[in-house]
Amino acid sequence: MSIKEIQDDIVDEFSMFDDWMQRYEYMIDLGKSLPLIESQYKTEDNIIKGCQSKVWVHADLEDDKLVFTADSDAIITKGIIAILIRAFSNQKPKDIIDADTAFIDEIGLKEHLSPTRANGLVSMIKQIKLYAIAYQTQVG
Amino acid sequence: MIDVTKIRKDFPILKREVNGKPLVYLDNAATSQTPQQVIDVIVDYYSNYNANIHRGVHALSQEATDKYEQARIKIQKHFNAAKSYEVIFTSGTTHSINIVANGFSSLIKKGDEIIVSAMEHHSNIVPWQMLCERTGAILRVIPMNLDGELILSAYHELLSDKTKLIFCNHVSNALGTVNPIKEIIDAAHKVGAAVLIDGAQAAPHIKADVQALNADFYTVSAHKICGPTGAGVLYGKEEWLNKLPPYQGGGEMIAEVTFEKTTYADLPHKFEAGTPNICGGIAMGAGLDYMNAIGFDEIAAYEHELLEYATEELLAIDGLKIYGIAKEKTAVISFNVGEIHPYDIGSILDKLGVAVRTGHHCAQPIMDFYKIPGTVRASFSFYNTKEEVDVLVAAVKKAKSMLE
């Protein structure tokens, strides 16, 4: 599936929720259930320090696709990471570079991607894009 | 006794909703809200007498200058400074601290020692680290105990003839601890060291008397005392302000300029280069007027009541731990619930209309001390109510049930 198709799916899924509480409960479940990164990659090199929460991101190139793993010390941040990974992981670097994150607004989680939140997510998306740009030059 | 219903009517922002819920504003340690009386002063300034000060012969400039200087005198009287020119207008506490840190570069030499407390805001750590890097001076730290109180016996041991400066906040922003600054100042003076007290967090709750305290420097931000952001003051004893070189060069701070040499203006203008935040300074005075009309003793008594009530109600929540339980503290409660990350609690509280601060509160060394990523901080003002405490407590319970 393309990034756009996955994002549309996520927007569809979230449209079933009636209010913010259901959306948050879903995110919290995502945040609790997923082991998102191998502990060996939870290193200082991979850390993004927000004022609020910490985020770890690691990227691997498998065939011609980029696979992301990430984690956070805050559950809601981790839930959003799970959604971002679902959308951006296992995709070609070129497609990741071209994709946007507008779907996060549509699912009512915009405030968590505000640069002023300082929770590490904005930097994480930037990091995902930077990995994609770096690997794009490798893939050619 | 405070008439909180009447007071709340002065604050237009308290009527608004957030996320469909009535706003419960408990982030007063970050910034206080602005009463209509201060908003009116700001509107009046820009509507009627906006002009540059000190150098115009025209009526508006004279009017603006008069109001600005009247505000300086109000601030002088409030903090009981001996002279009005010992009150330097700045953009706020950070600016005030940097004037002193920068000024001491020329007075400090390699091997000298500077002491800071373990519970400083980053703005009162970083400038001193930079000063130490520039001069080769050594930074020492007054440790704190688990209750969030400074260990004064350790402080006395740190003092020596090498000690040149001590920097300590009057009230900790992250914990609310009221520090024993009089004892800290007196001991420092015995070894000939100067003391800067960061009064940013104390000013909303305590009327400090800089002469009685014998503080060498005292810093305040307007936006914590019902005034606007981008304004504040540095109080400094005349003898110290005369010793320190100017911080920034520019207009307003000079007596005479030729290409060979510039002589600096007298106090306070020596430290007030460029066009200042004129409206901000005047509105800072208006903020103090507003709070003084209510009365600082009344404010302190009422906030103490809120603090006790909120502490009791919050502690009844299973797994909730309060950081900073000093005997002397202002109405600030820093807490965590079990292992739940403060960001998660704060996010849910926001959805419920409750504004708190989460994170390390620009005081990372304190969080490292407690080995936590941060805290949720609820900070109260005289316009908060017990009903709002109840909303906070219910919101924390809701967040806990969702996150555990």
Picking from B344, B351, B373, the nearest residue to A75 by CB comes out as B344
pLDDT at position B252: 66
What's the pLDDT band for A51 if we cut at 50, 70, 90? Answer: low
**Tokens 């009005």 belong to residue:** B84
- In the numeric block, which tokens belong to residue B250? 């520019």
Mean model confidence pLDDT for chain A: 85
Q: What mean pLDDT comes out for the span B170-193?
A: 97
Closest CA to B369 of B149, B124, B125: B149
Which of B69-73, B156-160, B273-277 shows the lowest mean pLDDT across its residues? B273-277
At position B206, the amino acid (one-letter code) is I
CA distance A131 to chain B (A): 27
Q: Identify the residue among B347, B377, B397 best suited for mutation to test binding to A, counting A beta carbons within 10 A and taking the highest.
A: B347
Please state, rounded to an integer, the average pLDDT across all residues of chain B. Answer: 94
DSSP state of B171: B
| Model pLDDT, residue B273 | 84
Q: Are B124 and B198 spatial neighbours (Cβ–Cβ below 8 Å)?
A: yes
Q: Flag the least confident range among A97-101, B62-66, B75-79.
A: A97-101
- Please name the member of A25, A76, A118 whose beta carbon is closest to the beta carbon of B347: A76
Contact between B351 and A119 using a beta-carbon 8 Å cutoff: no
The number of beta carbons lying within 10 Å of the beta carbon of residue B274 is 10
Q: For chain A, what are the domain ranges? A: 1-135
Backbone angles phi, psi at B111, to 5 degrees: 90, -15
Give the chain A residue whose CA is nearest to the CA of B346: A52
pLDDT at res. A140:
63
- B348–A73 C-beta distance less than 8 A: no
> Fold for domain A1-135?
Sufe protein. Chain: A (3.90.1010)
pLDDT at A34: 67
Residue B377: closest CA among B232, B174, B146, B101: B174
> Is the bond into B268 cis (omega within 30 degrees of 0)?
yes
pLDDT in tens, B94-147: 999 999 998 998 899 999 999 999 998 887 788 888 889 989 999 999 999 999
Cβ(B98)–Cβ(B68) under 8 Å? Answer: no
What distance in Å separates residue B342's CA from the closest CA in chain A? 8
Q: What is the pLDDT of residue A56?
A: 86
DSSP classification of residue A117: G
Put simply, the answer to whether B343 touches A76 (Cβ < 8 Å) is yes
pLDDT value at residue B265 = 79
Tokens of B2: 């405070």
Searching chain A, which residue's CA lies closest to the CA of residue B351? Answer: A20
Active site residues of B: 362
Closest CA to A120 of A60, A39, A52, A44: A52
Report the complex ipTM. 0.86
pLDDT higher than threshold 90 for residue B194? yes
Nearest-CB residue to A75 (from B346, B358, B403): B403
- The tokens describing B182, both together, are 């009089």
**Two structure tokens written together for A140:** 């050619």
Residue B395 CA to residue B22 CA, distance in Å, equals 13
pLDDT, tens digit (0-9, with 9 covering 90-100), for B282-297: 999 999 999 999 999 9
Closest Cα in chain B, distance from residue A67 (Å) = 27
Q: CA–CA separation, B379 vs B397, rounded Å? A: 18
Look-up: residue for tokens 């409206």? B279
- For residue B403, the chain A residue with the least C-alpha distance is A28
| Helix/strand/coil percentages in chain A, nearest 5 | 60, 15, 25
Q: Return d(Cα B274, Cα B187) in angstroms, integer.
A: 37
Q: Reduce the DSSP state of residue A95 to 3 states and report it.
A: helix
Type of residue found at A40:
Q
pLDDT in tens, B4-41: 999 999 999 999 999 899 999 999 999 999 999 999 99
Per-residue model confidence (pLDDT) at position B69: 96
Which domains, ranges and CATH numbers included, belong to chain B? 4-30+295-403 (3.90.1150.10), 39-292 (3.40.640.10)
Q: Are A81 and A66 contacting, i.e. CB atoms less than 8 angstroms apart?
A: no
- Helix (H) or strand (E) segment spanning residue B256: strand B254-257
